[in-house]
């Protein structure tokens, strides 16, 4: 009899241990405002600016994380269970978004209507921009592309939430004016930069450089997420001497001791750029552009 009681108690404990965790992962309550999401901070800032107080906007990639190595957690998927629309960069940069969105969520690539550049390694080989391969996804770093993104966001939100159309139009116009002002200020900041040739950490800055009349002489990391080979670094060192470059730019999301050693060996100063933002001083799209412009203005 005693053995049966112990077995029964053990069964109750087992059920308790199973049920409690299940309750902790139950579907989150429906938010008071409709929810939309954005994969990266630049898109998130544009979306929240257009949405205003009408919607709850969620950022998927945490500030400081790299989209190249990000692995979304089940908890992140739970947080987005009520998302109706998700705005993405696309071009292979944030394909992980499908792992965190509910099946019913509509995914909107923000590259629509934007003239995309071929990735640098393809452009060097003369590959046409009509290729089916992913294009360079960093198009948001051109402020005029960001203005097009705002227009698309406004249109898509108005389609999904037509009762807020007037508010979205008003908010979008305000954001566009703010981006335009930041663009003009960045042009002023970069007008007298000592050197217009840059060595960046990886191939993220071609849209920025094209818009602001700069030149990317080379990148420290020829392929995102892969450390350069000794032979590549030797060639890069020769490039710095040939072009007369005395600055190399790392990135806020990078953690690479190799660039410190390379800079020391070649007598280069290191400055930090941030292509994604999300934290001060790049806590809005406009501040992202201006912060990078101020940093590049010190290039020599």
The number of beta carbons lying within 10 Å of the beta carbon of residue 174 is 14
pLDDT tier for residue 2 given thresholds of 50, 70 and 90: low
Q: Specify the domain boundaries for CATH 3.40.50.1980 within the chain.
A: 35-114+134-183, 187-296
The number of beta carbons lying within 10 Å of the beta carbon of residue 49 is 21
CATH top class, domain 35-114+134-183: alpha beta
Q: How confident is the prediction for the chain on average, in pLDDT?
A: 89
pTM for the predicted model, two decimal places: 0.87
CB 101 within 8 A of CB 107: yes
pLDDT value at residue 227: 83
Range with lowest mean pLDDT among 65-69, 159-163, 186-190, 275-279: 65-69
> What architecture is domain 187-296?
3-Layer(aba) Sandwich (3.40)
pLDDT value at residue 11: 54
For the stretch 204-223, pLDDT in tens is 999 999 999 999 999 998 87
CB 36 within 8 A of CB 83: yes
201 contacts: CB under 8 Å, gap ≥ 6: 219, 220, 221, 248, 249, 250, 251, 254, 256, 259, 273
Q: Summarize the confidence of residues 64-85 as an average pLDDT.
A: 94
For the stretch 248-284, pLDDT in tens is 999 987 767 889 999 999 999 999 999 999 999 999 9
């Amino acid at each position: 009899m005693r053995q049966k009681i112990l077995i029964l108690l053990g069964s109750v404990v087992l059920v308790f241990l199973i049920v409690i965790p299940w309750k902790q992962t139950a579907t989150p309550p429906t938010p008071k405002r409709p929810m939309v999401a954005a994969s990266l901070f630049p898109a998130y800032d544009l979306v929240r600016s257009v949405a205003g107080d009408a919607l709850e906007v969620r950022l998927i990639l945490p500030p400081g994380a790299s989209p190249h190595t990000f692995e979304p957690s089940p908890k992140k998927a739970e947080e987005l269970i009520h998302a109706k629309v998700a705005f993405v960069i696309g071009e292979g940069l944030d394909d992980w978004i499908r792992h965190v969105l509910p099946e019913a969520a509509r995914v909107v690539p923000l590259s629509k209507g934007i003239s995309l550049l071929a990735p640098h390694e393809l452009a060097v080989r003369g590959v046409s921009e009509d290729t089916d391969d992913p294009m360079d996804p960093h198009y948001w770093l051109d402020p005029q592309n960001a203005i097009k993104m705002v227009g698309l966001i406004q249109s898509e939100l108005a389609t999904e939430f037509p009762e807020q159309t007037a508010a979205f139009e008003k908010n979008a116009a305000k954001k566009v004016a703010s981006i335009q002002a930041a663009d003009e200020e960045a042009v002023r900041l970069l007008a007298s930069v000592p050197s217009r040739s840059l060595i960046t950490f990886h191939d993220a800055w071609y849209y920025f450089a094209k818009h602001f009349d700069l030149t990317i002489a080379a990148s420290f990391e020829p392929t995102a997420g892969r450390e350069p080979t000794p032979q590549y670094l030797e060639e890069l060192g020769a490039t710095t001497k040939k072009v007369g470059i005395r600055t190399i730019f790392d990135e806020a999301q990078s953690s690479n001791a190799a660039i410190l050693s390379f800079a020391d060996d070649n007598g280069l100063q290191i400055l930090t750029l941030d292509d994604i933002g999300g934290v001060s001083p790049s806590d809005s799209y406009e501040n992202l552009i201006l912060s990078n412009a101020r940093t590049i203005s010190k290039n020599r």
